[in-house]
Amino acid sequence: MSFHKQPKDDTQHQNHLDGAVKILTSDLQEEATRSGLDNHFQRWIEDLKDVNNPELHQIVTDLQALKAHFGGGTIDKNLVSQLLSRLGANTSKAAVFADNPNTAERVANLGEALSAAAKQVQSPQTTPEQDLSQDSNR
């Protein structure tokens, strides 16, 4: 008996893209500790492989590296920032490959979220309370 994998439709791809943006715009440190992050990476990798476009190879490679790094325990913020930054740039460029305009828009949004996440990892934002506390210590 053979198993034929049903191809995903655009709605499923768009849901995966929306989920990835949601993760990237939340607290990445907290998301890294959650068990579902690995599944998000895997779905994203599979979606890209399903497209079967050699232009997306670097994105797949970087996602696999990011997935492996997050699965390793200690997080090297310089490496994560570098991977997220490159993923952001390459994902933004990849939006042109989407056939559906709604999917293309979501891919572009994901590219922006990846680039923003790279900056967040490199220099995390402080809360107003932390800023006031730091100011009063000077």
Quick one: pLDDT at residue 125? 61
DSSP code for 1: -
| Sequence-separated (6 or more) residues with CB below 8 Å from residue 118 | 80, 81, 82, 83, 84, 85, 87, 88
63-119 pLDDT per residue, tens:
999 888 877 767 788 998 999 999 999 999 999 988 889 889 999 999 999 999 899
Q: Predicted confidence band at 132 (pLDDT cuts at 50, 70, 90)?
A: low
Cα 52 to Cα 35: distance, rounded to the nearest angstrom: 28
* pTM, entire model: 0.76
25-73 pLDDT per residue, tens:
777 767 666 667 788 888 888 888 888 889 999 999 999 998 888 777 6
